[in-house]
Structure formats: C-alpha cells, structure tokens
Copies of this chain bind each other. A is one copy, B any other.
C-alpha cells in the first residue's frame, strides 16, 4: 500500500461494473440511487479502504472543510483551551482546523490571515494581536465572503459577530474586593494598546474606585507590555519615585508575578503590606507564594460559544445573519494575595 495506489471511486466502480458517477452518488446518498447499489458501494468502499481525496473534493466543490484560527499564541492556557474546544466542535462536523499564531505581531498577523485566505479556508476565527492597528486584512476576508468571527480581543469597528467576556465587570469586582479588604492606594498596570479588553479592564478599575469615593491617581497608573519583566520594572519605578501604594491590580497575570518578585526582593510582605491581583487565571497563579487573586476568563465556555456561533455562520452561507455579540461572565477568583484582613 504505497502512496500511489490510494483507492478512488473509479476503483470501486470497476470492481462493481458501474460508473464513478453512480459511486459518487451512492456515497453521497443520492435519492436516485437504489438501496441495493448503495449497499454494494459502501461494502466495496470499506473493503478497499476508500477515503475521498480531499483535494479533489475541495477543488470541485470550492469548499475546503478547513477553518483557520488566528490567535496571539498557543502557549497560553486561555488560548489553548479555546482552541481545544473549537477543534472538538469542528472535528465532529468533519472540519479540520488550522491554528496560526500572530505572536502579537501585526505584520505576522497580516501574513497569517492572508495565508489562510490563499489556502482557501472556509472561515476564520480570530483573537487580535496586541499591536494590531489596521484591519484591512480582515476586511479583505469579509469582502471575499469568508465567514469571520472574533473572540476575546475583538475589533469593535468591524461588522462581525464576536464572543467576549465582561472584562469591565470582572475588573470592577476585583477592584471592589480590594477596596473592601482595606486597600486604598491601588496601583493599576495596563497596556497602552487600545484593544477592547484593556480599555474595559481600566474602566472597571476606575468605576470601582469612584463608586467607593476614591479617585484615580495618575501616579498609580503604569502602562507597559505586561510581561513578567515589565511587572518588575513597574514596581521598581513606583518604589524609586517614592510613590506610595498598598495594592496592585494588573491587567495581566504575567506582570503581577513580576511585581511580586520585585516586592519580595524589597522585603515587602504580600498581602499584608501590598495586595496583588492579576487577570487571566494562568495556572501558575496558583503556584505562587502567596497564591494570586485573578480572573478566570472561562475559556471552555468561550470556545464552545465561538464554535457554535461560527458554524451557524458557516451553515447559513450566503444568508446574512444579524451580527451577534455574546458576552460571557468571567469568574473572579479571590486568593491569599488580596486577603489583607485575615478571614
């Protein structure tokens, strides 16, 4: 059984003394083919281990049964969970999934979207990169009629359905929790990027403060790329400038871990001297000492929701469905890093 002698419908046809047309129709359960013939064809197909040539099918039908996913990186619990959910949903429907990573790089994202279009995927599901500014690569897909869905990091400007979590609410609740724990000067780490998630997280922080009669102190707002190293530096800056603070709420788990390291290095106790909270519920937030309060982005439900929305689009191609926006409720997780008052 070498690569060459893959079984085709012609082999089945020869074996049974009928035509390839009939075999094709039998396999596709065409009503005009007799039950007897269908039976014979299916038997023969099993026997010689027939598998349709996906390229021939794709070429003929103009549909590839391939869907593309574009995410910043797979190496993030949140994204890999979502991908898993989508894959399961897709595989059940006999679609294959191509995962591509933008690495939060605008150029790479453009390339990768174009590559997917060239590869003639039947649809694309996207979570935007942090540095994405233009959207022409997505407009192109829309113009070509390729079904498109955004999740988590979305472009509000485009007429595209999306699934997000309520970042505002999560952020509000976490900030409120810290205030109730007695923290008063809560610093906030965020990204300078104008993506929805970061804007919303900031908004939640601000509204919580205002609700409790506190105000946003610009000195306590630090913008960075939110990586581990950035967290360290941000704390360093705060300490250096002598800006007093008794808590930090970061829009990312990574930078809050960096912050934790830097604080410990300076002999500052957590949560007694400074409370810490992150965002994302990365697995390692449970491993730190003390464990970190954070926000779980409900990746599993999000994966299911995105997949469902996407396949609705796919199955109703041509028909213009109304733009949907699904907002999921995240889970705010309070751990020891924000327990100023002992329970």
Contact = CB atoms under 8 A, between A and B. Distances in A.
Contact of A59 (B1, B53, B81, B99): B53
A23 B80 CA distance: 43
Residue among A84, A115, A140 having the largest count of chain B Cβ atoms under 10 Å: A84
Residue among A73, A75, A140, A287 having the largest count of chain B Cβ atoms under 10 Å: A287
Contact of A55 (B64, B98, B146, B284): B64
Contacts of A283: 228, 284
B74 A3 contact: no
Contact of A118 (B51, B264, B289): B51
- How many protomers of this protein does the assembly include? 2
A145 interface: yes
A37 interface: no
B83 A74 contact: yes
A56 interface: yes
Interface residues on A, range: 35 or more
A226 B279 CA distance: 27
A96 B115 contact: yes
A81 B140 CA distance: 31
Contacts of A144: 1-3
Contact of A74 (B75, B143, B288): B75
A105 interface: no
Contacts of A244: none
A257 B287 contact: yes
Given A1-B143, A74-B83, A77-B75, A120 B55 contact: yes
16 contacts: A2-B144, A2-B145, A3-B144, A53-B120, A55-B120, A59-B59, A74-B74, A74-B75, A74-B80, A74-B83, A84-B101, A98-B98, A228-B283, A257-B287, A284-B284, A288-B288
Interface of A: 1-4, 51, 53-56, 58-59, 62, 64, 73-77, 80-81, 83-84, 87, 96, 98-99, 101, 115, 118-120, 140, 143-146, 228, 257, 260-261, 264, 283-284, 287-289
